[in-house]
Amino acid sequence: METAKDWGIAFYRKFSRDDAMGSAAEMAFRFMFALFPLLVFLAALSAYIARWLGIDNPTEEILTQAGDRLPSDVQGVLEPQLREIFGNRNPGLITVTAVTAIWAASTGTKTVMKTLNQVYEVDETRPFLKKQVVGVGLTIIGGLVFLAGAIILVVGQALGQQIAEAIGLGNAWAVAVTYGRIPVVLVLIAIAVGLVYWSAPNAGLPFKWTSWGAALFVVAWVVATIAFGFYVANFASYNATYGSLGAVIILMTWLYLSSLLLIVGAEVNYLVDARTSEARSEERQRGDEPTNADARSSRAERQ
């Protein structure tokens, strides 16, 4: 029976062998490169959705709901960009930014695929077209999850109040629906991360809606984001050190932490799968000799 210490040692060795911190730095750079084209596209699309939903000031709503969960300097970088984009409802902006965003974001996705192949110790043997489909597909799904999360955060409060008033359940139900949107967003993130862990590596993994690694990522990411925001707001002096680049450095640091936690979740999944496979193998070895049918089935699987 393995102890927590054994798991910790195994994780540390795997984490070091895979150069997880170096891979996280590469992923953070790729995400930084892809972030603003993706935000421009999503914000341009959201401008039409906001008008359809009757939201007069979507930028203020988004920053109110998400701003407290982001470092203040990161919010300062995003705010003018969002205001400019939400004020521009040119259809051509959506088309151009969609192509640019998908191309830029897919470079980050391909880096994730390469990193997870390294975690699972497999080579990339998928055909070029399939690899592109996986990369673009994950990019689109990630964008949709981001957009869905933003809509739930922005519309959730008003919708919760309307539902409560319509069915006559009063303020208590409105409060429950209002705060219930946050777990919904976290579940969406967990499912999206679980999908990344399943499809990104060339490991032929069985499909799971989520996993231990995805759950760990969501919890650790929320804690790390809140803690980092508190640290930046109260103790750090990025602006004094880096001047006008302070906000960019903060955003890069946050992306690095997020990338590192994504790799940590993948490492946990790998170790859990490896230990599960070893346990099943030991159980089979301790069992009776296989029957003829079992032997034929085993040979068929190997073929």
* 235-266 per-position pLDDT tens digit: 666 666 666 677 788 888 889 999 999 999 99
pLDDT at residue 228, as a whole number:
84
The tokens describing 272, both together, are 């859990």
pLDDT for residue 138 is more than 50 = yes
Mean pLDDT of 50-55: 62
pLDDT for residue 173 is more than 60 = yes
Q: Helical H runs in the chain? A: 4-17, 20-53, 58-66, 72-86, 91-119, 128-167, 170-199, 212-234, 238-242, 246-286, 292-302
Q: How far apart are CA 111 and CA 107, in angstroms?
A: 6
pLDDT at residue 55, as a whole number:
60
Q: Which of 218, 242, 223, 246 is nearest to 72 (CA)?
A: 246
pLDDT at residue 117, as a whole number:
94
Q: What is the mean pLDDT of the chain?
A: 76
Half-sphere exposure of 267 (CA within 13 A, CB side): 23
* 54-88 per-position pLDDT tens digit: 665 555 555 565 555 555 556 666 666 666 655 55
List C-alpha distances in Å: 40 to 78, 79, 98, 99, 145: 10, 12, 9, 11, 16
Q: How far apart are CA 278 and CA 282, in angstroms?
A: 6
Ramachandran angles phi, psi of 256, nearest 5°: -65, -45
Mean pLDDT of 154-168: 67
pLDDT for residue 191 is more than 50 = yes
Structural domain boundaries in the chain: 4-280
pLDDT at residue 83, as a whole number:
63
Q: How far apart are CA 53 and CA 68, in angstroms?
A: 24
267 versus 142: the higher-pLDDT residue is 267
Q: 183: pLDDT confidence band, cut at 50, 70 and 90? A: confident
Q: Can you give the length of the chain in residues?
A: 303
